[in-house]
């Protein structure tokens, strides 16, 4: 299965690319189109699936999906990132271990919720890197759900779309992820992060540092083979700790409760979650005070906790964070997303970004004989616009 590299384009250009891809593949324009963004997460990592707090923001990298319903049950899916169109006689009952699984999983969940709707032709185009921890999966699922809903002339509240996409990812695809990615893709707001309570699914937009600062992603271009299995294992460990402590969510635990856990490993996992939830609260306070500098130590502490307590970092991520800490124009840096590879997120002064990239590149090449990839990202509105509530 050949993977093609993405080329960057803004939302309207991507919509245009989608129209031509659909035209080429299916001989007409797509009657329904939806575009959903990827995300960064300022802080609050591996907290969403235990009812915790996170601080994601949608970014200007997207997945666009075009859909045309069919009268028969056939399903055709094409993607600009993978060669070869997928043709299925109907929606398969189980995952096939294929890139098209997410589209099928979402379509199956929608069919469950709405009743049988028949087949469809779908084209996907994207400028969001896959496997870099920027939620290309969440964006693909949200865009697929919204395009199918539009094609079938049906509406669904955003929160239900988010939960349905999560069910597709957890059940059909088999990655037991939380809800952060879907909420960011749907409800993100330009210039803001969402202070997200993953238990109540309530959030508040919090203004991010202004134009003197920039978000930079340094992609290790490494994804370790066991990342998906290790992610599910972490979630299982959190669930076991919850059971042992008799709480519904780790959200209800304090650092004083750690002694109740028999295994040191579980204590470390829970210590990460509890301390990370605290760091999200502190980061939200700092943002509200417009104190960008205060984010630096919080990002740094989050990285150390993910590395030592939650054990989801990698030597490549650690090296980039270490290099970033030596650069005076970098406010803070940490690994971002599920971990075991992917990206480091940096908050830096906008002036001097070229130099930051240069310094990180040099150090990384020295250690690993390869260059990291950089993405300078802007925060944008989610798929439902400025305030989809
Ligand atoms: C992945 C998952 C999210 C979240 C992060 C870690 O991106 O999709 O739900 O758990 O990892 O914070």
Pocket test for ligand 1, best of 177, 193, 250, 303 (most atoms within 8 A of CB): 177
- Residue 99 backbone phi and psi in degrees, to 5: -60, -25
| Residue 341 pLDDT > 70 | yes
Residue 118: per-residue pLDDT: 92
Tell me which of 80, 101, 127, 181 is the catalytic residue: 181
218 shares a domain with 188: no
Distances (CA, A) of 173 to 16, 84, 99, 104, 261: 29, 20, 10, 9, 32
Residue 367 located in a structural domain: yes
- For the CA of 231, the closest atom of ligand 1 is 11
Distance CA 274, CA 116 (A): 43
| Residue 387 pLDDT > 70 | no
Residue 10: pLDDT band (50, 70, 90) is: confident
- CA-nearest of 98, 96, 138, 144 to 122 is 144
Mean pLDDT score across all residues of the chain:
95
The model's pLDDT over 69-78, given as tens digits with 9 standing for 90+, comes to 999 999 999 9
Residue 386 located in a structural domain: no
Residue 385 located in a structural domain: no
177 lines ligand 1 (CB under 6 A): yes
Instruction: Choose one of 141, 175, 206: the last residue of a domain.
Output: 206
Residues in the chain: 389
3-state DSSP call for residue 131?
coil
The model's pLDDT over 88-144, given as tens digits with 9 standing for 90+, comes to 999 999 999 999 999 999 999 999 999 999 999 999 999 999 989 999 999 999 999
| Residue 63 pLDDT > 80 | yes
133 shares a domain with 245: no
304 shares a domain with 196: no
| Residue 1 pLDDT > 50 | no
Residue 170 located in a structural domain: yes
Residue 131: per-residue pLDDT: 87
Residue 6: pLDDT band (50, 70, 90) is: low
The model's pLDDT over 182-238, given as tens digits with 9 standing for 90+, comes to 999 999 999 999 999 999 999 999 999 999 999 999 999 998 777 889 999 999 999
- Residue-range definition of the domain harbouring residue 93: 3-206
Residue 387 located in a structural domain: no
Residue 283: per-residue pLDDT: 99
45 lines ligand 1 (CB under 6 A): yes
181 annotated active-site: yes
Q: What is the CATH number of the domain that holds 101?
A: 3.30.230.10
109 lines ligand 1 (CB under 6 A): no
225 shares a domain with 111: no
360 shares a domain with 264: yes
178 lines ligand 1 (CB under 6 A): yes
Residue 78 located in a structural domain: yes
- Looking at the structure of the chain, the number of domains it has is 2
Distance CA 329, CA 213 (A): 10
- For the CA of 135, the closest atom of ligand 1 is 7
213 shares a domain with 279: yes
230 shares a domain with 197: no
48 lines ligand 1 (CB under 6 A): yes
Instruction: Choose one of 158, 179, 206: the last residue of a domain.
Output: 206
Name the token pair of 338.
């599920």
Distance CA 47, CA 43 (A): 10
Question: What percent of the chain has pLDDT above 70?
Answer: 97
The helix or strand, by DSSP H or E, that contains position 32, with its residue range, turns out to be strand 32-41
Q: What is the CATH number of the domain that holds 339?
A: 3.30.70.890
Distance CA 18, CA 211 (A): 31
46 lines ligand 1 (CB under 6 A): yes
227 shares a domain with 170: no
- For the CA of 179, the closest atom of ligand 1 is 9
Around 38, how many Cα atoms within 13 Å sit in the side-chain half-sphere? 25
- For the CA of 338, the closest atom of ligand 1 is 11
236 shares a domain with 299: yes
DSSP labels for 330-373?
Answer: EEEEEE-TT-SEEEEEEEEESTTHHHHHHHHHHHHHHHHSS--E
Please give the distance, rounded to the nearest whole angstrom, from the Cα atom of residue 58 to the centre of ligand 1. Answer: 14
267 shares a domain with 175: no
99 shares a domain with 68: yes
Residue 9: pLDDT band (50, 70, 90) is: low
Residue 322 located in a structural domain: yes
Instruction: Choose one of 206, 235, 268: the last residue of a domain.
Output: 206
| Residue 2 pLDDT > 50 | no
Please give the distance, rounded to the nearest whole angstrom, from the Cα atom of residue 362 to the centre of ligand 1. Answer: 29
| Residue 168 pLDDT > 60 | yes
| Residue 7 pLDDT > 70 | no
Residue 223: per-residue pLDDT: 81
139 shares a domain with 50: yes
164 lines ligand 1 (CB under 6 A): no
Please give the distance, rounded to the nearest whole angstrom, from the Cα atom of residue 116 to the centre of ligand 1. Answer: 31
Residue 382 located in a structural domain: no
């Amino acid at each position: 299965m050949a993977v093609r590299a993405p080329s960057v384009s803004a939302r309207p250009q991507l919509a245009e690319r989608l129209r031509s891809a659909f035209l080429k593949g299916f001989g007409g324009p797509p009657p329904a189109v939806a575009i959903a963004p990827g995300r960064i997460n300022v802080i609050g990592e591996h907290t969403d699936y235990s009812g915790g707090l996170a601080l994601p923001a949608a970014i200007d990298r997207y997945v666009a999906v075009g859909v045309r319903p069919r009268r028969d049950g056939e399903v055709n899916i094409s993607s600009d990132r993978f060669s070869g169109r997928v043709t299925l006689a109907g929606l398969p009952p189980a995952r096939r271990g294929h890139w098209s699984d997410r589209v099928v999983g979402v379509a199956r969940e929608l069919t469950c919720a709405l009743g049988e709707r028949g087949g469809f032709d779908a084209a996907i185009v994207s400028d969001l890197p896959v496997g870099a921890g920027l939620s290309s999966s969440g964006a693909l699922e949200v865009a697929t759900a919204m395009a199918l809903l539009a094609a079938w002339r049906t509406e669904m509240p955003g929160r239900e779309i988010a939960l349905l996409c999560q069910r597709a990812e957890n059940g059909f695809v088999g990655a037991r992820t939380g809800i952060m990615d879907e909420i960011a893709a749907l409800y993100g707001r330009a210039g803001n992060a969402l202070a997200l309570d993953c238990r109540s699914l309530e959030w508040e937009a919090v203004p991010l540092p202004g134009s003197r600062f920039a978000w930079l992603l340094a992609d290790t271009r490494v994804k370790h083979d066991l990342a998906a299995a290790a992610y599910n294992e972490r979630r299982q460990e959190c669930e076991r700790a919850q059971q042992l402590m008799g709480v519904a969510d780790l959200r209800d635990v304090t650092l004083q409760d750690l002694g109740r856990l028999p295994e040191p490993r579980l204590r470390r996992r829970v210590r990460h979650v509890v301390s990370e939830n605290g760091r999200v609260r502190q980061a939200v306070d700092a943002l509200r005070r417009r104190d960008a500098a205060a984010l630096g130590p919080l990002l740094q502490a989050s990285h150390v906790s993910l590395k030592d307590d939650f054990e989801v970092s990698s030597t490549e991520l650690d090296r980039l964070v270490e290099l970033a800490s030596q650069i005076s124009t970098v406010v803070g840096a940490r690994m971002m997303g599920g971990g075991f590879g992917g990206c480091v997120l940096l908050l830096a002064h906008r002036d001097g970004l070229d130099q930051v990239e240069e310094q990180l590149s040099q150090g990384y090449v020295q250690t690993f004989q390869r260059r990291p990839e950089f993405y300078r990202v802007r925060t944008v509105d989610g798929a439902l616009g400025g305030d989809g509530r």
